[in-house]
Amino acid sequence: MVAPPPKPLQVDAEGYYEPGYQFTVSDRRFTRLTLRPDPSVRFTRTGTRQEFGCFDAVITPQVVRMRCEIERVGTMTIDGRFVNRVATTRMDAPAISAVLTVRNTRGEVLYSARDNFVWRPPQ
């Protein structure tokens, strides 16, 4: 008897993660986080989308830690964990729980809160 193939891990799932709450900083609304293939965050602003790459990204089956430069604003840090280790097709189940912090170029906190993210397949 052959064992079933292992279930894919959430950490390996390509796609993006939508926050439970879309906050606004410097007239830009945070709309999503991408881990694979390249870590990034997306903000929208009056009809335009802006993607910002993340450096210092640590993404393991347990944790997500990223630092992202947001042009003309400052930096955003994401410090979280996967709620579900195994990838799921349930679109309503949180996949990541994280603390998001946005600091301006002087290091002052503009936004900080914990949020849950749901996974969406690539578009």
**pLDDT, position 42:** 96
Q: In the structure, what pLDDT confidence band is assigned to residue 29 with cuts at 50, 70 and 90? A: very high
The dihedral through the CA atoms of 92, 97, 103, 108 has a sign that is positive
Report d(CA 36, CA 16) in Å as an integer: 8
Does residue 83 surpass a pLDDT of 70?
A: yes
Q: Does domain 14-120 have CATH number 2.40.128?
A: yes
Instruction: Choose among 42, 2, 47, 52: nearest CA to 22.
Output: 42
Report d(CA 41, CA 76) in Å as an integer: 9
Average pLDDT, the chain: 89
**pLDDT, position 2:** 78
Q: What are phi and psi of 71, to 5 degrees?
A: -50, 130
**pLDDT, position 122:** 83
**pLDDT, position 103:** 97
Domain map (residue ranges) of the chain? 14-120
pTM more than 0.75: yes
Q: Which residues of 89-103 are buried (b: 16+ CB within 10 A; e: fewer)?
A: eeeeebbbebebbbb
Q: In the structure, what pLDDT confidence band is assigned to residue 91 with cuts at 50, 70 and 90? A: low
